[in-house]
Structure 1
Protein backbone atom coordinates (compact mmCIF):
# COMPACT_ATOMS: atom_id res chain seq x y z
CA UNK A 1 0.00 0.00 0.00
CA UNK A 2 1.40 3.40 -0.97
CA UNK A 3 2.04 6.04 1.67
CA UNK A 4 -0.61 8.78 1.62
CA UNK A 5 0.56 12.34 0.92
CA UNK A 6 1.35 14.53 3.90
CA UNK A 7 -1.39 16.93 2.77
CA UNK A 8 -4.18 16.33 0.30
CA UNK A 9 -6.84 18.86 -0.74
CA UNK A 10 -9.69 17.19 -2.60
CA UNK A 11 -12.17 19.38 -4.54
CA UNK A 12 -11.84 22.09 -1.90
CA UNK A 13 -14.04 25.17 -2.21
CA UNK A 14 -14.63 28.10 0.13
CA UNK A 15 -17.85 29.95 -0.69
CA UNK A 16 -19.02 33.16 0.94
CA UNK A 17 -22.64 34.24 0.46
CA UNK A 18 -25.38 32.55 -1.53
CA UNK A 19 -26.97 32.66 -4.95
CA UNK A 20 -25.93 35.38 -7.38
CA UNK A 21 -23.86 37.14 -4.72
CA UNK A 22 -21.83 34.06 -3.78
CA UNK A 23 -18.07 34.49 -3.92
CA UNK A 24 -15.71 31.53 -4.27
CA UNK A 25 -12.52 32.28 -2.36
CA UNK A 26 -11.35 28.79 -3.38
CA UNK A 27 -12.83 26.96 -6.34
CA UNK A 28 -12.49 23.15 -6.53
CA UNK A 29 -8.81 22.99 -5.58
CA UNK A 30 -7.01 19.66 -5.78
CA UNK A 31 -3.48 19.49 -4.44
CA UNK A 32 -1.16 16.85 -3.02
CA UNK A 33 2.01 17.58 -1.07
CA UNK A 34 4.43 14.81 -0.19
CA UNK A 35 6.83 14.29 2.67
CA UNK A 36 10.23 15.80 1.95
CA UNK A 37 8.80 18.33 -0.51
CA UNK A 38 8.87 22.12 -0.33
CA UNK A 39 6.09 23.75 -2.36
CA UNK A 40 5.76 27.47 -3.10
CA UNK A 41 2.30 28.94 -3.69
CA UNK A 42 2.20 32.17 -5.67
CA UNK A 43 -0.46 34.44 -7.11
CA UNK A 44 -1.78 38.01 -6.94
CA UNK A 45 -3.13 39.51 -3.73
CA UNK A 46 -6.59 38.14 -3.00
CA UNK A 47 -6.05 35.07 -5.17
CA UNK A 48 -6.72 32.62 -2.34
CA UNK A 49 -3.16 31.62 -1.36
CA UNK A 50 -3.46 32.33 2.36
CA UNK A 51 -7.01 30.96 2.43
CA UNK A 52 -5.75 27.67 1.00
CA UNK A 53 -2.92 27.61 3.53
CA UNK A 54 -5.46 28.06 6.33
CA UNK A 55 -7.58 25.23 4.94
CA UNK A 56 -4.56 22.93 4.66
CA UNK A 57 -3.70 23.76 8.26
CA UNK A 58 -7.18 22.99 9.55
CA UNK A 59 -7.70 26.61 10.60
CA UNK A 60 -10.57 27.06 8.15
CA UNK A 61 -13.12 24.46 7.15
CA UNK A 62 -13.95 24.16 3.43
CA UNK A 63 -17.50 24.73 2.28
CA UNK A 64 -17.11 21.79 -0.10
CA UNK A 65 -14.51 19.07 -0.44
CA UNK A 66 -12.09 17.81 2.18
CA UNK A 67 -8.53 17.99 3.43
CA UNK A 68 -6.60 14.92 4.50
CA UNK A 69 -3.49 14.93 6.68
CA UNK A 70 -1.48 11.75 6.21
CA UNK A 71 -4.64 10.09 4.96
CA UNK A 72 -6.84 11.26 7.84
CA UNK A 73 -9.77 13.43 6.81
CA UNK A 74 -10.43 16.62 8.76
CA UNK A 75 -14.11 16.45 7.82
CA UNK A 76 -16.31 15.97 10.85
CA UNK A 77 -13.60 16.70 13.40
CA UNK A 78 -14.41 19.12 16.19
CA UNK A 79 -12.34 22.27 16.67
CA UNK A 80 -10.67 20.60 19.65
CA UNK A 81 -9.72 17.60 17.53
CA UNK A 82 -8.39 19.81 14.72
CA UNK A 83 -6.39 21.84 17.25
CA UNK A 84 -4.86 18.64 18.62
CA UNK A 85 -3.88 17.59 15.09
CA UNK A 86 -2.28 20.97 14.44
CA UNK A 87 -0.40 20.79 17.72
CA UNK A 88 1.06 17.36 17.05
CA UNK A 89 1.55 17.30 13.27
CA UNK A 90 2.11 20.91 12.16
CA UNK A 91 4.32 23.91 12.68
CA UNK A 92 3.43 27.44 11.52
CA UNK A 93 5.75 30.25 10.37
CA UNK A 94 4.49 33.81 9.90
CA UNK A 95 5.67 36.92 8.08
CA UNK A 96 5.75 38.98 11.28
CA UNK A 97 7.61 36.27 13.29
CA UNK A 98 5.10 36.48 16.21
CA UNK A 99 7.83 36.19 18.84
CA UNK A 100 7.17 37.22 22.43
CA UNK A 101 9.33 40.34 22.99
CA UNK A 102 9.77 39.73 26.72
CA UNK A 103 11.19 36.24 26.12
CA UNK A 104 14.65 35.32 24.87
CA UNK A 105 15.08 33.25 21.71
CA UNK A 106 15.49 30.17 23.90
CA UNK A 107 12.41 30.96 25.97
CA UNK A 108 10.29 31.53 22.85
CA UNK A 109 11.12 28.02 21.67
CA UNK A 110 10.69 26.56 25.16
CA UNK A 111 7.18 28.01 25.34
CA UNK A 112 6.23 26.15 22.15
CA UNK A 113 7.66 22.96 23.60
CA UNK A 114 5.69 23.48 26.80
CA UNK A 115 2.46 23.81 24.81
CA UNK A 116 3.29 20.53 23.10
CA UNK A 117 4.23 18.90 26.41
CA UNK A 118 7.81 18.34 25.34
CA UNK A 119 10.88 18.86 27.57
CA UNK A 120 12.38 22.34 27.50
CA UNK A 121 15.87 20.87 26.99
CA UNK A 122 14.92 20.32 23.33
CA UNK A 123 14.94 24.08 22.69
CA UNK A 124 18.70 24.61 22.56
CA UNK A 125 19.31 21.91 19.89
CA UNK A 126 16.55 23.43 17.76
CA UNK A 127 18.25 26.82 17.88
CA UNK A 128 21.55 25.14 17.00
CA UNK A 129 19.85 23.49 14.05
CA UNK A 130 18.84 26.87 12.59
CA UNK A 131 22.26 28.38 13.29
CA UNK A 132 21.31 30.47 16.31
CA UNK A 133 22.76 28.59 19.24
CA UNK A 134 25.02 31.54 20.01
CA UNK A 135 22.00 33.89 20.20
CA UNK A 136 19.84 31.76 22.48
CA UNK A 137 19.83 34.33 25.31
CA UNK A 138 19.09 37.33 23.06
CA UNK A 139 15.72 39.08 23.09
CA UNK A 140 13.88 39.67 19.78
CA UNK A 141 14.69 43.41 19.88
CA UNK A 142 18.38 42.51 19.65
CA UNK A 143 17.96 40.13 16.71
CA UNK A 144 17.99 40.95 13.00
CA UNK A 145 14.96 40.13 10.86
CA UNK A 146 16.65 36.99 9.52
CA UNK A 147 17.53 35.87 13.03
CA UNK A 148 13.98 36.43 14.24
CA UNK A 149 12.65 34.28 11.41
CA UNK A 150 15.14 31.55 12.28
CA UNK A 151 13.87 31.60 15.86
CA UNK A 152 10.35 31.33 14.45
CA UNK A 153 11.44 28.31 12.38
CA UNK A 154 13.02 26.69 15.45
CA UNK A 155 9.77 27.28 17.32
CA UNK A 156 7.77 25.75 14.44
CA UNK A 157 10.00 22.66 14.63
CA UNK A 158 9.18 22.19 18.34
CA UNK A 159 7.56 18.83 18.88
CA UNK A 160 8.98 17.42 15.61
CA UNK A 161 6.00 18.11 13.29
CA UNK A 162 6.00 16.48 9.86
CA UNK A 163 4.38 19.49 8.18
CA UNK A 164 5.40 23.17 8.17
CA UNK A 165 3.12 25.89 6.79
CA UNK A 166 4.73 29.27 6.11
CA UNK A 167 2.88 32.47 5.19
CA UNK A 168 5.20 34.97 3.45
CA UNK A 169 8.22 33.98 5.55
CA UNK A 170 10.61 36.19 3.53
CA UNK A 171 8.40 39.26 3.05
CA UNK A 172 9.99 41.31 5.85
CA UNK A 173 13.56 40.32 4.94
CA UNK A 174 16.12 41.66 2.49
CA UNK A 175 17.28 39.46 -0.39
CA UNK A 176 20.26 37.92 1.39
CA UNK A 177 18.41 36.97 4.56
CA UNK A 178 15.24 35.99 2.70
CA UNK A 179 17.06 33.52 0.48
CA UNK A 180 18.96 32.16 3.49
CA UNK A 181 15.64 31.42 5.19
CA UNK A 182 14.30 29.65 2.08
CA UNK A 183 17.52 27.61 1.80
CA UNK A 184 17.12 26.61 5.45
CA UNK A 185 13.53 25.51 4.85
CA UNK A 186 14.62 23.59 1.75
CA UNK A 187 17.27 21.76 3.77
CA UNK A 188 14.75 20.96 6.50
CA UNK A 189 12.34 19.51 3.92
CA UNK A 190 14.89 17.39 2.08
CA UNK A 191 17.06 16.19 4.95
CA UNK A 192 14.33 15.68 7.53
CA UNK A 193 11.51 14.53 5.27
CA UNK A 194 9.10 17.30 6.27
CA UNK A 195 6.40 18.63 3.95
CA UNK A 196 6.64 22.42 3.66
CA UNK A 197 4.10 24.72 2.01
CA UNK A 198 5.13 28.32 1.60
CA UNK A 199 2.91 31.21 0.46
CA UNK A 200 5.02 33.90 -1.19
CA UNK A 201 4.99 36.90 -3.52
CA UNK A 202 8.75 36.64 -4.08
CA UNK A 203 9.52 35.31 -7.61
CA UNK A 204 13.00 34.24 -6.48
CA UNK A 205 11.51 31.64 -4.16
CA UNK A 206 10.04 29.48 -6.94
CA UNK A 207 13.32 28.08 -8.28
CA UNK A 208 14.45 27.32 -4.72
CA UNK A 209 11.38 25.16 -4.09
CA UNK A 210 10.62 21.70 -5.45
CA UNK A 211 7.36 22.82 -6.99
CA UNK A 212 5.61 26.07 -7.77
CA UNK A 213 1.80 26.22 -7.62
CA UNK A 214 0.09 29.30 -9.07
CA UNK A 215 -3.31 30.44 -7.81
CA UNK A 216 -5.64 33.07 -9.29
CA UNK A 217 -9.27 33.77 -8.41
CA UNK A 218 -9.31 30.79 -6.07
CA UNK A 219 -8.18 28.28 -8.71
CA UNK A 220 -4.99 26.48 -9.55
CA UNK A 221 -4.45 28.09 -12.94
CA UNK A 222 -1.53 26.14 -14.36
CA UNK A 223 0.23 22.83 -14.11
CA UNK A 224 2.73 22.92 -11.24
CA UNK A 225 6.27 23.84 -12.22
CA UNK A 226 8.66 21.12 -11.09
CA UNK A 227 12.18 21.94 -9.93
CA UNK A 228 13.98 18.61 -9.82
CA UNK A 229 12.04 16.78 -7.13
CA UNK A 230 13.42 13.60 -5.69
CA UNK A 231 11.42 10.65 -6.95
CA UNK A 232 10.30 9.62 -3.47
CA UNK A 233 8.85 13.07 -2.76
CA UNK A 234 7.12 13.87 -6.06
CA UNK A 235 3.43 14.71 -5.86
CA UNK A 236 1.19 16.34 -8.46
CA UNK A 237 -1.53 18.93 -8.20
Structure 2
Protein backbone atom coordinates (compact mmCIF):
# COMPACT_ATOMS: atom_id res chain seq x y z
CA UNK A 1 0.00 0.00 0.00
CA UNK A 2 1.23 3.49 -0.84
CA UNK A 3 2.65 5.49 2.08
CA UNK A 4 2.89 9.28 2.44
CA UNK A 5 4.24 11.66 5.09
CA UNK A 6 2.57 14.73 6.57
CA UNK A 7 4.10 17.46 8.74
CA UNK A 8 1.59 17.55 11.60
CA UNK A 9 0.20 15.08 14.18
CA UNK A 10 -2.93 13.01 13.56
CA UNK A 11 -5.51 11.14 15.59
CA UNK A 12 -8.13 8.67 14.39
CA UNK A 13 -11.07 10.39 12.61
CA UNK A 14 -9.02 13.50 11.79
CA UNK A 15 -9.69 14.92 8.34
CA UNK A 16 -6.71 16.46 6.55
CA UNK A 17 -5.54 17.77 3.20
CA UNK A 18 -2.70 16.23 1.22
CA UNK A 19 0.29 18.32 0.12
CA UNK A 20 0.10 19.30 -3.54
CA UNK A 21 2.88 16.99 -4.78
CA UNK A 22 1.49 14.00 -2.90
CA UNK A 23 -2.02 14.87 -4.03
CA UNK A 24 -0.89 14.89 -7.67
CA UNK A 25 0.82 11.51 -7.23
CA UNK A 26 -2.18 9.97 -5.50
CA UNK A 27 -4.81 11.22 -7.95
CA UNK A 28 -2.99 11.56 -11.28
CA UNK A 29 -0.33 8.83 -11.06
CA UNK A 30 -2.02 6.18 -8.92
CA UNK A 31 -5.49 7.24 -10.17
CA UNK A 32 -6.99 6.86 -6.72
CA UNK A 33 -10.66 7.60 -6.18
CA UNK A 34 -12.98 8.26 -3.25
CA UNK A 35 -12.94 5.33 -0.83
CA UNK A 36 -9.40 4.21 -1.64
CA UNK A 37 -6.99 3.76 1.27
CA UNK A 38 -3.36 4.76 1.82
CA UNK A 39 -0.96 4.82 4.75
CA UNK A 40 -0.03 8.16 6.33
CA UNK A 41 2.89 8.86 8.68
CA UNK A 42 2.40 11.92 10.86
CA UNK A 43 4.96 14.23 12.47
CA UNK A 44 5.17 12.00 15.56
CA UNK A 45 6.03 8.93 13.44
CA UNK A 46 2.62 7.37 14.00
CA UNK A 47 1.22 5.44 11.04
CA UNK A 48 -2.45 5.64 10.10
CA UNK A 49 -4.68 3.98 7.59
CA UNK A 50 -6.49 6.80 5.79
CA UNK A 51 -9.40 6.88 3.36
CA UNK A 52 -9.81 9.31 0.45
CA UNK A 53 -13.01 11.33 0.96
CA UNK A 54 -12.67 14.16 -1.59
CA UNK A 55 -10.62 14.72 -4.75
CA UNK A 56 -12.55 17.55 -6.41
CA UNK A 57 -10.73 20.74 -5.43
CA UNK A 58 -8.27 19.42 -2.85
CA UNK A 59 -7.41 15.86 -1.91
CA UNK A 60 -8.96 15.25 1.51
CA UNK A 61 -8.45 12.11 3.58
CA UNK A 62 -9.72 10.83 6.91
CA UNK A 63 -7.50 8.87 9.31
CA UNK A 64 -9.41 5.69 10.12
CA UNK A 65 -7.03 3.50 12.13
CA UNK A 66 -3.68 3.73 13.93
CA UNK A 67 -1.51 0.93 12.50
CA UNK A 68 1.84 2.02 13.94
CA UNK A 69 4.47 -0.70 14.05
CA UNK A 70 8.12 -0.01 14.87
CA UNK A 71 10.35 -0.40 11.81
CA UNK A 72 13.23 1.97 12.57
CA UNK A 73 16.71 0.83 13.55
CA UNK A 74 17.21 1.08 17.33
CA UNK A 75 20.36 3.14 16.75
CA UNK A 76 20.57 6.50 14.99
CA UNK A 77 22.85 6.18 11.96
CA UNK A 78 24.36 9.08 10.04
CA UNK A 79 25.99 8.31 6.69
CA UNK A 80 28.65 10.89 5.78
CA UNK A 81 30.05 10.68 2.25
CA UNK A 82 32.61 12.49 0.19
CA UNK A 83 30.77 13.85 -2.84
CA UNK A 84 30.81 11.35 -5.71
CA UNK A 85 30.13 11.91 -9.40
CA UNK A 86 27.02 11.05 -11.41
CA UNK A 87 24.02 9.62 -9.61
CA UNK A 88 26.05 7.81 -6.95
CA UNK A 89 24.98 10.23 -4.20
CA UNK A 90 21.33 9.56 -5.03
CA UNK A 91 21.94 5.82 -5.08
CA UNK A 92 23.55 6.00 -1.64
CA UNK A 93 20.53 7.84 -0.26
CA UNK A 94 18.03 5.46 -1.87
CA UNK A 95 19.63 2.24 -0.69
CA UNK A 96 20.76 3.40 2.75
CA UNK A 97 17.29 4.84 3.41
CA UNK A 98 15.82 1.43 2.64
CA UNK A 99 18.27 -0.05 5.15
CA UNK A 100 17.43 2.41 7.93
CA UNK A 101 19.85 5.37 7.81
CA UNK A 102 18.41 8.48 9.46
CA UNK A 103 20.76 11.23 8.32
CA UNK A 104 23.02 11.93 5.34
CA UNK A 105 25.94 14.35 5.26
CA UNK A 106 27.81 15.13 2.05
CA UNK A 107 31.14 16.93 2.00
CA UNK A 108 33.79 17.86 -0.54
CA UNK A 109 36.82 15.64 0.00
CA UNK A 110 40.28 16.21 -1.41
CA UNK A 111 39.85 13.49 -4.03
CA UNK A 112 36.22 14.28 -4.88
CA UNK A 113 35.91 14.35 -8.67
CA UNK A 114 32.55 16.11 -8.52
CA UNK A 115 32.41 19.67 -7.21
CA UNK A 116 29.16 21.33 -6.15
CA UNK A 117 29.11 25.06 -6.79
CA UNK A 118 27.58 27.05 -3.93
CA UNK A 119 25.08 28.54 -6.37
CA UNK A 120 23.70 25.04 -7.00
CA UNK A 121 23.70 23.79 -3.41
CA UNK A 122 20.04 24.58 -2.73
CA UNK A 123 18.94 22.78 -5.89
CA UNK A 124 21.12 19.78 -5.07
CA UNK A 125 19.72 19.55 -1.55
CA UNK A 126 16.15 19.81 -2.82
CA UNK A 127 16.72 16.95 -5.25
CA UNK A 128 18.46 14.76 -2.66
CA UNK A 129 15.68 15.47 -0.17
CA UNK A 130 13.11 14.33 -2.74
CA UNK A 131 15.09 11.13 -3.26
CA UNK A 132 15.14 10.48 0.50
CA UNK A 133 11.38 11.09 0.77
CA UNK A 134 10.56 8.77 -2.11
CA UNK A 135 12.82 6.03 -0.73
CA UNK A 136 11.30 6.39 2.75
CA UNK A 137 7.80 6.00 1.31
CA UNK A 138 8.81 2.96 -0.73
CA UNK A 139 10.53 1.30 2.25
CA UNK A 140 7.61 2.09 4.58
CA UNK A 141 9.81 4.05 6.96
CA UNK A 142 8.40 6.10 9.83
CA UNK A 143 10.62 9.09 9.09
CA UNK A 144 12.23 10.85 6.15
CA UNK A 145 16.02 10.98 6.53
CA UNK A 146 17.63 14.41 6.62
CA UNK A 147 20.17 15.47 4.00
CA UNK A 148 22.81 18.16 4.55
CA UNK A 149 25.95 19.45 2.89
CA UNK A 150 28.75 20.22 5.36
CA UNK A 151 32.42 21.09 5.42
CA UNK A 152 34.80 18.25 6.25
CA UNK A 153 36.08 20.32 9.18
CA UNK A 154 32.53 20.52 10.59
CA UNK A 155 32.23 16.75 10.45
CA UNK A 156 35.31 16.38 12.63
CA UNK A 157 33.65 18.39 15.42
CA UNK A 158 30.19 16.79 15.42
CA UNK A 159 29.10 14.88 18.50
CA UNK A 160 28.24 11.17 18.20
CA UNK A 161 28.44 8.18 20.53
CA UNK A 162 30.75 6.44 18.07
CA UNK A 163 32.51 7.55 14.90
CA UNK A 164 33.76 5.28 12.16
CA UNK A 165 35.76 5.88 8.97
CA UNK A 166 35.74 3.20 6.29
CA UNK A 167 39.36 3.15 5.15
CA UNK A 168 40.48 0.91 2.30
CA UNK A 169 44.13 0.92 3.38
CA UNK A 170 43.05 -0.74 6.63
CA UNK A 171 41.42 -3.48 4.56
CA UNK A 172 44.52 -3.88 2.41
CA UNK A 173 46.65 -4.28 5.53
CA UNK A 174 44.37 -7.03 6.82
CA UNK A 175 42.74 -5.08 9.67
CA UNK A 176 39.49 -6.89 10.46
CA UNK A 177 38.51 -6.15 14.05
CA UNK A 178 37.78 -2.42 14.35
CA UNK A 179 34.40 -2.46 12.60
CA UNK A 180 33.34 -5.46 14.67
CA UNK A 181 34.39 -3.68 17.88
CA UNK A 182 32.45 -0.54 16.99
CA UNK A 183 29.17 -2.30 16.26
CA UNK A 184 29.57 -4.63 19.25
CA UNK A 185 29.89 -1.64 21.59
CA UNK A 186 26.78 0.10 20.27
CA UNK A 187 23.58 -0.01 22.31
CA UNK A 188 19.99 0.91 21.40
CA UNK A 189 19.62 4.67 21.35
CA UNK A 190 23.27 5.32 20.44
CA UNK A 191 24.23 7.66 17.60
CA UNK A 192 26.76 6.42 15.06
CA UNK A 193 28.34 8.30 12.17
CA UNK A 194 29.97 6.23 9.43
CA UNK A 195 32.21 8.18 7.06
CA UNK A 196 33.02 7.13 3.49
CA UNK A 197 35.32 8.63 0.91
CA UNK A 198 34.51 9.47 -2.72
CA UNK A 199 35.72 7.36 -5.66
CA UNK A 200 39.34 8.35 -5.03
CA UNK A 201 39.22 7.58 -1.33
CA UNK A 202 40.77 9.75 1.38
CA UNK A 203 44.18 11.38 1.39
CA UNK A 204 46.61 10.47 4.18
CA UNK A 205 46.19 13.97 5.62
CA UNK A 206 42.42 13.53 5.83
CA UNK A 207 42.75 10.12 7.46
CA UNK A 208 45.20 11.52 10.02
CA UNK A 209 42.73 14.29 10.91
CA UNK A 210 39.92 11.79 11.40
CA UNK A 211 42.12 9.60 13.60
CA UNK A 212 43.28 12.58 15.68
CA UNK A 213 39.64 13.60 16.18
CA UNK A 214 38.74 10.22 17.66
CA UNK A 215 37.33 8.41 14.63
CA UNK A 216 37.96 4.67 14.37
CA UNK A 217 39.61 3.63 11.09
CA UNK A 218 38.14 0.35 9.91
CA UNK A 219 38.43 -1.98 6.97
CA UNK A 220 35.25 -3.50 5.57
CA UNK A 221 36.48 -6.96 4.68
CA UNK A 222 39.24 -8.13 2.33
CA UNK A 223 37.78 -6.62 -0.85
CA UNK A 224 37.82 -3.02 -2.06
CA UNK A 225 34.28 -1.63 -2.19
CA UNK A 226 32.96 1.12 -4.44
CA UNK A 227 31.98 4.46 -2.92
CA UNK A 228 28.30 3.60 -3.32
CA UNK A 229 28.70 0.02 -2.03
CA UNK A 230 30.55 0.61 1.25
CA UNK A 231 27.63 2.41 3.00
CA UNK A 232 25.35 -0.51 2.12
CA UNK A 233 27.82 -2.95 3.66
CA UNK A 234 27.75 -1.01 6.92
CA UNK A 235 23.96 -0.56 6.96
CA UNK A 236 23.28 -4.23 6.21
CA UNK A 237 25.66 -5.28 8.98
CA UNK A 238 23.95 -2.95 11.45
CA UNK A 239 20.54 -4.31 10.47
CA UNK A 240 21.74 -7.85 11.10
CA UNK A 241 23.32 -6.86 14.42
CA UNK A 242 20.27 -5.06 15.81
CA UNK A 243 17.26 -6.50 13.99
CA UNK A 244 17.91 -10.08 12.90
CA UNK A 245 19.95 -11.70 15.66
Q: Greater Rg, structure 1 or structure 2?
A: 2
TM-score when normalising by structure 2: 0.26
Q: State TM-score, norm by structure 1.
A: 0.27
